[in-house]
Structure 1
Amino acid sequence: MAAAKADAPASAAAGRQRGRWRAPVLLAALTLLLVLGMIASAGVGQLTVSVTEVIGALLQGIGVDTSWAPATDVTYQALWQIRFPRVAMSLAVGAALAIAGAVMQAIFGNPLAEPGVVGVSSGAALGAALAIVSGGVFAGVFGMAAMAFVGGVGATLLVYFMARSQGRTEVVTLLLTGIAVNAFAGAGVALVIFIGDSAAREQIVFWQLGSLNGSRWNEVAVVASLTLVAGSVAFALARRYDLLALGERTAGHLGLRVERLRVISIIVVAVLTGAAVAFAGIIAFVGLVVPHAVRMMLGPAHKMLLAGSLLGGAVLMVWADLFARTAVTGAELPIGLLTSLIGGPFFFWLLRRARSRQGGWA
């Protein structure tokens, strides 16, 4: 017994030591996977480009001498006009969705929460569908993206204000209101599909499946800018999320303005998710899978959790997009389909794991 007591401090110290190294090792591994994925995604496709040419074209584009790794004009144009924007878009979209998921799980205190529960994805789908059917001033990629963004943010704000009562917002009420708004937006999309012509129907369905095809630098700039701004706000709130994890009442006694934090966080989630889905369509489960997996490895501290989620989301989207482009010869799989195939079983495993811990599901 005495020996066991003596070994306890040593064991605890060893655990802290392992935890201290776990975060930098994981972040370094994710960074390496991201770099490898970006190079592979830029080089693999109908036009195969060597690693040397990819690096050479990248450096040449930013003004660095690349006489040691020259790239032909065809290769250079293909990379900078088609491949590089798509890689950058996948990185920005993955990071935005994963950070949004981490914020959602923080303010709800539930590891199964994800951005779609507050109506942002369904609202964006309704906005995009209306833009596709109406045409006119909303014609073109930016018109549709603007309508999708407005729809996503508008649905989120509607959920929040409908769930707010007497200056407070109950989490359960917010979730139930989100379910109602999601159902209403889904019915709206179905109605728009019904009244649209065959071309509009196909475009709406394709948009809902998610795709990064045709990404351009001006679109990347919009998504990256919104992600940078909203993501910076999320990182600035990391300490407050740690306090909120102690419970609303405890956090309030420690000086945290819980309702104000929740309002700001919901706006951050709406901006991040709205920016991502506006150009990429509905990308499911990234906001659920990535933050939860990172939390399992790094623990609940939100500064590291947000950093790991940012990298993890980017890694998942870059590799998923590469697989979507290359899995079927002569065709491209919808990237939303792939993330659902990954996230669906993972979500079921989370439910089974949570249930078994409660002793109800062997």
Structure 2
Amino acid sequence: MFIGITGNGGVLIAFTKNRRLRSARNIFLLNLIITDLLLCVTAIPVTPWYALTKNWTFGALMCRLMPLSNSCSVFVTSWSLTAIAIDKFVHIMGPIRAPVSIGQASLVTAFIWVVSTMINIPYLMSYELVDGAYYVPNNTAPFCGLFCDEINWNGETPRRLYGSAVVLLQFVIPLTIITYCYTRILAKVASDMIIQNVQFRKSLSTAQREEATNRRKRVNYILIGMVIAFIGCWLPLTVVNVLKDFRLEPSFLLEQPFFWPLVAHVIAMSTVIWNPLLFFWLTKRKKAQTQTPRFSVSLNVFGTTISRINSMQRKSYNSTYNSAGTLNRESPNRNETPKSHLRNGLANTKNYLSVKTERLI
């Protein structure tokens, strides 16, 4: 919990203090940080205490709000990762276009939260405090105290249907979309299509090509790591919930009805550590890239970064896309004439080209 709060809190502070991080693409990352903090202050401290004491001491209201909060956090996390994957897929696989605005990303984020809350409203009605004197879990011995459990279902069928729908919407569908998008992205990067579309490829030195290759490898590692972290953290808890809904628990789950769900819960809660670690790693690598030598060519598949800077040429001519997607040109000296140009499809550009759309994620 301490690591999660410290790491995610540090990322949140970095977002609020560093205006360069306030991009549309990072809105989705900020969404992940917020859900991680929500888990840190609710599920992480409450669930282990409940499992160890075998007594719910947090009141009837928290008994209803905790499942809603936990499930909403999982929904928002999975669909925020899906939104990131879709945005990257459209940006990389499609033609060059204006980047997603902060307003658009905020609308998508709000939509994710609203839909996630609506889907999980049944938890408010199904969970209730049960007196341990009358509660016999798994047909064993009764316990003393209070338990927070799902009892307000009209039979097993509605509960199983709802549980199956939650698994599909919370895990299966997002994972399918994420896997498809990242597989297509990695295939395109591996085939070297991005660099092949840059007409000055032949002019690159060995060091510049190696830099581009290393950057693509780093992107591959990050994308694969995000998918593995998502699957590794949430799959055990998802499997446990499905087995409980359909009464298919193996013997070790029946013998230890609190221990193994707690283990699955701890694994799921470890997700609050991976997001800030990935963020800090990306920030560190990006900061290192800004301190590299003056002549560099870099290609960022998260966004689009194509830059050429000649250390021997003090006179430069910069062209950038504004938020509307139009081409702005700005020359430090209008009387100076550049000596070369890049033929990359941008209209009537006979100067050094620098197209930069920087995104952390």
TM-score strictly above 0.5: no
| Larger RCO (CA under 8 A, 6+ residues apart) | 1
Larger Rg: 2
| TM-score when normalising by structure 2 | 0.31
Please state which structure has a larger fraction of its residues in strand. 2
